Amino acid sequence: MIIVLFIAVFAGTGISETSAQCAMCTINAEQGVKNGNTQAKGINSGVLYLMAIPYLMIGALGVLWYKRYRTANTSKSS
C-alpha cells in the first residue's frame, strides 16, 4: 500500500521541465546559453541530480524498512 502511494505521489508530480535553481543562477545560466557558452546548459541538470540523491536514499531506506518490517511481522503471525 505504501509503495503504491509513493509511486502515485511521484507520478503525479512529474513535470516535463523543472527549474531547480535560485534566481541568480538561473539568470547566469540563461545569459551563458544566449552567449554561446555550452557549459551553462548542464547547470540545471546538475542541480536536479544533486537534489535527487537524498530523495532516492530516503526511498531506499523506506523500502528496506518496509521489507524488514513485513518479514518480521509475517514471522510472528505464523
For residue 16, being part of any structural domain is answered with no
For residue 30, being part of any structural domain is answered with yes
For residue 71, being part of any structural domain is answered with yes
Domain that holds residue 49: 22-77
Give the chain as a 3 state SS string.
CHHHHHHHHHHHCCCCCCCCCCHHHHHHHHHHHHCCCCHHHHHHHHHHHHHHHHHHHHHHHHHHHHHHHHHHHHHHHC
For residue 1, being part of any structural domain is answered with no
For residue 58, being part of any structural domain is answered with yes
Determine if the pTM surpasses 0.85: no
Number of domains present in the structure of the chain: 1
Segment 35-66, tens digit of pLDDT: 777 676 677 677 778 889 999 999 999 999 99
pLDDT for 26 equals 72
pLDDT for 25 equals 72
